[in-house]
Chain A
């Protein structure tokens, strides 16, 4: 649902915050493995 909202241009701020936090988490995950 959130991805659909983001694609439609809703909740852009939330999208930016989620994406940057997700990338940080992925980098941390890859460092751990």
Chain B
């Protein structure tokens, strides 16, 4: 597995222009929120019967499951950065929970996703380099970490 230095350096090698970095400070959070919102529309329950003479129902979303796995991956790369990412992921999951009641949230998420990527590509126009994921799909996970 690639080290944190290797992963961040690979990402940063096509994000050296300050204008590009600035666009990513807007684009990446929009995309992460959009993905969280989309994945939060898939919900399921786990019911524990007869647990201490009562039933316990836990509510999960696909976003919770996937971002838990992603957070564990960040933990393998760098503990202090993973701590910041845990907080960031929790804020996103909380926002998705709050927004989940809005009608047409999935379409709003798609809109945010598209706007986020447009902002990213404007940044790469200034950078004059293609996005990192073009050569390495794992860089999708490094964008938020960067």
Binding site for B on A (CB under 8 A): 1-5, 10-11, 14, 17-19, 21-26, 29
Contacts and interface: CB of A to CB of B under 8 A. Distances in A.
Interface of B: 4-6, 8-14, 16, 21, 25, 78, 80-81, 84-85, 88, 129, 144-146
Contacts of A24: 9
Q: Which 7 A-B pairs have the closest CB atoms?
A: A21-B9, A22-B12, A25-B13, A22-B13, A22-B9, A26-B13, A18-B8
Most chain A Cβ neighbours within 10 Å, of B12, B16, B85, B144? B12
- The main secondary structure of chain B at its interface with chain A is helix
Nearest to A25: B13
B71 to A, nearest CB: 12
A33 B98 CA distance: 47
Contacts, number: 57
A10 B145 CA distance: 14
A4 B115 CA distance: 22
Given A1-B85, A2-B145, A10 B13 contact: no
23 contacts: A1-B85, A1-B88, A1-B146, A2-B8, A2-B81, A2-B146, A5-B80, A5-B81, A14-B5, A14-B78, A17-B5, A18-B8, A21-B9, A21-B13, A22-B10, A22-B11, A24-B9, A25-B10, A25-B13, A26-B13, A26-B14, A26-B129, A29-B13
